[in-house]
Amino acid sequence: MDTGPFQLPSEIVEMCDVAKRIVHDELLPLEPQYLQHPGHSFGTNQTATNLKLVFGQDVLDHLTKISRETGLWYLMVPEEHGGSGLSMLAQIAIMEQFNYTAVPFPFAHVANILYQSEGDQVDRFLKPVIEGEKITCFAQTEPNAGSDPGGMMQTHAVQDGDEWVLNGTKMWISGAAESDIIMVQAVTDKEKRQRGGITMFLVDRNNPGVTIEEPGIQTWLGTRPSQYIVHLDDCRVPATDILGEVGNGFRLGQRWLTIHDRLLRGPFAIGKMQRALDMSVEWAKQRETFGKPLSERQAIQWKLVDMYIDLQSLQSLTYQMAARADTGEDIRTEASMIKLVSMNWGARCLDDAIQIHGAMGESLELPLTLFYRYLRHGRIGGGTDEIQKMLIARKLLRD
């Protein structure tokens, strides 16, 4: 396994090889059925739902057993919580393998900020999420507060004795209908707002003050909606269900975005780009036009070269930023860079792959159009290209 200047320990390389074998032996054979099924939807917190919907409980149980027996289930869980304690670089190298296929692999999806749980929050929220018994979703975005949530957020919370009363509406909340715990940001000090005036609440999905509009918002990411509008109407939340400290919620949200919605976009794109390149090389060698294989056409060769350069560049950049994160460095700006380039280069790579395959590239029998939609969506979801550039420019001009 080529990791460039980042030499992974042999045990991590072995885990990457295990992941690769699982992908080829277990997941790729399932892919045709997965691609043809109209019901799967976008989102890592949709993994179990999608597997059960498409293949049934037996397949979900089988893959979950493999995940737990190999230790991959705890891939991203810190050692103090029973996990592998792997470095971010190692996690990214392994996750890259699983993003080679459209079929999701089950492992513990834990929002990194949930490790801020204290007291009985650990047993009520953190442990059930680690073990896959509960699912979380992140609720920051609002109808009029997308790119500027700190300045425009309207959802607010007022303390009433030992409880807080939340009111407001969240929009574009991924997997809200399937989630058990909604991590809700709400304004608790209108003057301070993102500078100490936004708090993170752990809200039970079945709280009587929570209403999720169904069937959800239909997008091109799947025939089954994965984005939802969440209404909070006099939603009472115990003070004990505040994550972290009062007023620290915006900072926690940024920490979640830095890793889960920005840095991890790197391996999300790399795996798909590698698959697209492999498929395109194979197709170019076997597909003939006017008596010659496509591989002999310069126009096709140059597309393959562009795809390869983008892939190698993104992998090197992602590994570098992951390695810097492992040193404890603040990589918020660098994570924005990963999100920006991974989604742009990834979408460009998939666009070339579809073009190389011609009409077959548009076929739903191949994963290319699905990969393209996921990557193109990433230029908007979690912060637009323009927002990432603004954040990067802010650091350049400040430094």
Q: Give the alpha-carbon dihedral of 310, 316, 322, 325, to 10 degrees.
A: -110
Q: Which of 121, 80, 108 is nearest to 245 (CA)?
A: 121
254-293 pLDDT tens trace: 998 899 889 999 999 999 999 999 999 999 999 999 999 9
Q: What is the pLDDT of residue 9?
A: 76
The helix (run of H) or strand (run of E) holding residue 276 is helix 265-286
Q: Do domains 136-248 and 264-398 have the same CATH topology?
A: no
Classify domain 264-398 by CATH architecture.
Up-down Bundle (1.20)
Task: Indicate whether 5 pLDDT > 60.
Answer: no
| Confidence band, pLDDT 50/70/90 cuts, at residue 3 | very low
Q: How far apart are CA 377 and CA 389, in angstroms?
A: 17
Annotated domain spans of the chain: 10-109, 136-248, 264-398
The pLDDT score that the predictor gives to residue 399 is: 66
d(CA 151, CA 250): 11
The residue written with tokens 């323009």 in the block is 386
Give DSSP secondary structure letters for 223-264. SS--EEEEEEEEEEEEGGGEESSTTBHHHHHHHHIIIIIIIT
Specify the pLDDT at position 127: 97
Name the region of 4 (left: φ>0; alpha: ψ -120 to 50; beta: rest): left
Mean pLDDT of 52-73: 97
Superfamily of structural domain 10-109: Acyl-CoA dehydrogenase/oxidase, N-terminal domain (1.10.540.10)
Per-residue confidence (pLDDT) for residue 6, from 0 to 100? 58
Please state, for a pLDDT cut of 70, what percent of the chain lies above it: 98
pLDDT in tens, 161-219: 999 999 999 999 999 999 999 999 999 999 999 999 999 999 999 999 999 999 999 99
CATH number of 136-248: 2.40.110.10
